[in-house]
Structure 1
Amino acid sequence: MIRLNDKWFRLVGIPAMALLGNWIFYDEINRQHNQQVWIDWIFSLLEVSLLWTQARYGILRARRRYPTLSETRQRILYQVVWFLAVTACLRLLTTFIYDVTMFWGYSYTPIRYVYNVAVGFFCIIPIAAIYEGMYLYRQWTVTYYEAQELKKINLQTQLESLKEQVKPHFLFNSLNTLQGLVMEDEKELAVAFIINLSQVYRYLLQSNEQVLIPLSKELDFIRAYVDLLKTRYEQGLTLEVNVASDVLDYALPPLTLQMLVENAVKHNRISTRSPLTIRIYSDAAHNLLVVNNLQRKQTVIPSNQMGLANISAKYRLLNQPDIVIHQTDTIFQVSVPLLQHVQS
């Protein structure tokens, strides 16, 4: 629920606005009719309290309907319409009551009605400007620090991924595989291996500065990455991709699929007799599902869940729905929301 932490603002602002407004707009006419200052100030205090309360309510409604920084224009327009309508009604009503009852000892001309409505607007404008200014500043601050945090997580992901790939055993296995292909005169396979290896590293470096990446590029990368893994696991590892063409331009955080595939490979037995199958497909709700059959290793590998936590943190900072993890005795599934279209 949206709340306004404005207790002290109201305690100081309402009396000050009542005193200042009464002095600027009504001091002359009050003197002409010999009105007592303290009575003028008390009624001015009541009227300002009423105006402030309705303005505050309108601000809360606007923030509930248009809460984000990108909706600032709609929020301000909503508030302007609210202030114009409600302030005019309240000021016309109070002026009519004073006029009919002759409360101040004189009747009101039409120009005085207009004048009182205008005074109400002049009182509301600074109040609304201060509230909106404070709200925009807080939103900008939150957005700025969330963006910095997202960059930090992205950088951490890239560094961790690079660290994982350049470990001595990975390089040794890659070079050893390449040597075997060359010695066996498998030139085409050797060339394909080198292309996939370069593609993997190029993607890791190029996606370093991006918050989101098109799904089509992420899929190209994951195919190259799995092809590298298959040089080690051969027929023991299978990748199946069935993604609708209308979501290929949708986006997701870089290396999301790499972390999910790496998670599946790390925690499951892989062999020709017991192949690990990783399926990547989309659903009608524009989610990307990554599913693998479960065949846990007998020796449990310690895991800090950093991969899944990292993906979840990115979606949270992007103000998007979180990933959904579903596990049974036979499968492990992660549903990843695809975000709106981005330029490729």
Structure 2
Amino acid sequence: MEKLNDRWMRLVGVPLICLVSNFIFFQPANDAHHISRWVALSASLVECLLIWEIARLGIIRARRHHPTLKQTTPRIIEQVLWFSVTTVVQRLALVYLYDVTEFWGYPMTERSYWVNTLIPFLFTVPLAAIYEARYLYRQWWATYYEAEQLKKQALQSQLDSLKAQINPHFLFNSLSTLSSLVSENPKQAERFIEELALVYRYVLQTNEQALTTLDSELQFIRAYFHLLQMRFGRSVELYIAVDESCRSLLIPPLTLQLLVENAVKHNTALPNRPLLISIDTDPDRRLFVRNTLHKKQIRVPSNGTGLANITAKYRLMGQPAVVIEQTDTHFQVMIPLIHQTRYDYAHH
């Protein structure tokens, strides 16, 4: 349990309260009975220190018994009971002692018992509330900070897991394409290997990056699409119409490759009915990837890695959601482009 750390409150606050309370509540009676102000202040200081040190013990005990944020209610109840019982007992005992000994030169009246017992509550309760408020704030902040740290660790772990899934997925599909070309066209397979090396270099370079520029992604997708055309010929066509102002914006690496791959995987591509894929932006600087919809008659096994990875990445990075739309003729994915400043702000 942390210390109260209230040194200045005890050295300055309590004497100040003693001075104010004595001047407001007791000085007129003391002057009427010709009691020295220094004697009255000294006795009042001792009384205030006694009251507050005992009250302080109650705060320490309550925090030791109920230290957590969830135990706030029982902690406050224990403090209230402690303050009430100890303050009433010690004040009644002290006033009784003054009464029987006539310490101030006169016997105590019934009013004196009430006043001397109730006045300390005017100061101990607000002070205790300040202590508890500070304690609650520090607990809340510590809990919030810890939760944020755990959240960041969890998000980073999930992002790392997603990146670990993408590379094997990309390599597996590339090797499947190469396997087909080896038997169909060995020379084209050799060229495919060279192009694949260039493409996979980009994959390795961006492996540790959460984001890359759209311009880099477009350069990569052109190289990747060239590999597709080596297999499918003119059965697959790609159109890119991206505004220059959007090229410096950010996107998770391999996003375009996953979407293009997804389109090729699930649709037929024939010379007389090519699969058309377009990549463009709108005035709101959003990226759209569309493809014509010619579903294969035989359903292709899929674990949903492509789209699931993209949507999960945007969600984990705290970015606007990816929007997927499908009509009878087209399949479209809207990818929010990310500003570096907004991304940095969201991760601080």
TM-score band by shorter chain is 0.5 to 0.7
Deviations 1:291-344 (A, max 9, x none): xxxxxxxxxxxxxxxxxxxxxxxxxxxxxxxxxxxxxxxxxxxxxxxxxxxxxx
For the residue of structure 1 that corresponds to 2:145, the secondary structure is helix
Give the Cα separation in 2 of the matches to 1:122 and 1:112.
Answer: 16
Q: Which has the higher contact order (CA 8 A, sep 6+)?
A: 1
Please say if residues 88 and 120 of structure 1, whose CA atoms lie closer than 8 Å, have aligned partners that are also in contact: no
* Matched pairs, number: 202
Deviations 1:169-215 (A, max 9, x none): 342226757999x9xxxx89x63xx23747974995598489xxxxx
For the residue of structure 2 that corresponds to 1:156, the secondary structure is helix
Which contiguous aligned blocks of 4+ residues in structure 1 show a shift greater than 6 angstroms?
177-180
TM-score under structure 1 length normalisation: 0.52
Match of 2:170 in 1: 171
For the residue of structure 2 that corresponds to 1:123, the secondary structure is helix
Q: Bigger radius of gyration, 1 or 2?
A: 2
Match of 1:95 in 2: 95
Matched, 1:81 2:91: no
Offset of residue 101 of structure 1 = 0.6
Residue 111 to residue 178, structure 1, CA distance change in 2 (3 Å): farther
Residue 179 to residue 34, structure 1, CA distance change in 2 (3 Å): farther
Please say if residues 2 and 60 of structure 1, whose CA atoms lie closer than 8 Å, have aligned partners that are also in contact: no
Please say if residues 14 and 49 of structure 1, whose CA atoms lie closer than 8 Å, have aligned partners that are also in contact: yes
Please say if residues 58 and 82 of structure 2, whose CA atoms lie closer than 8 Å, have aligned partners that are also in contact: yes
Match of 2:120 in 1: 120
Offset of residue 110 of structure 1 = 2.4
For the residue of structure 1 that corresponds to 2:107, the secondary structure is coil
Residue 197 to residue 102, structure 1, CA distance change in 2 (3 Å): same
Please say if residues 88 and 117 of structure 2, whose CA atoms lie closer than 8 Å, have aligned partners that are also in contact: yes
For the residue of structure 1 that corresponds to 2:94, the secondary structure is helix
Matched, 1:195 2:303: yes
Q: Which moved more, 1:195-204 or 1:141-150?
A: 195-204
Match of 1:265 in 2: none
Match of 1:129 in 2: 129
Match of 2:69 in 1: 69
Tell me which amino acid in the other structure corresponds to 1:54: I
Tell me which amino acid in the other structure corresponds to 1:165: Q
Residue 29 to residue 65, structure 1, CA distance change in 2 (3 Å): same
TM-score under structure 2 length normalisation: 0.52
Give the Cα separation in 2 of the matches to 1:6 and 1:103.
Answer: 33
* Within-5 A mapping of 1:23-62: 23-62=23-62
Tell me which amino acid in the other structure corresponds to 2:55: A
For the residue of structure 2 that corresponds to 1:26, the secondary structure is helix
For the residue of structure 2 that corresponds to 1:35, the secondary structure is coil
Match of 1:111 in 2: 111
Q: Which moved more, 1:140-149 or 1:125-134?
A: 140-149
Give the Cα separation in 2 of the matches to 1:51 and 1:174.
Answer: 78
Please say if residues 159 and 313 of structure 2, whose CA atoms lie closer than 8 Å, have aligned partners that are also in contact: no
Q: Which moved more, 1:119-128 or 1:138-147?
A: 138-147
For the residue of structure 2 that corresponds to 1:195, the secondary structure is coil
Offset of residue 99 of structure 1 = 0.7
For the residue of structure 1 that corresponds to 2:35, the secondary structure is coil
Structure 2 spans left out of the alignment, 5+ residues: 180-264, 266-297, 319-348
Residue 163 to residue 195, structure 1, CA distance change in 2 (3 Å): closer
Deviations 1:50-102 (A, max 9, x none): 11111111011111122122222221121111111111111111111111110
**What RMSD in Å do the two structures reach over aligned CA positions?**
3.0
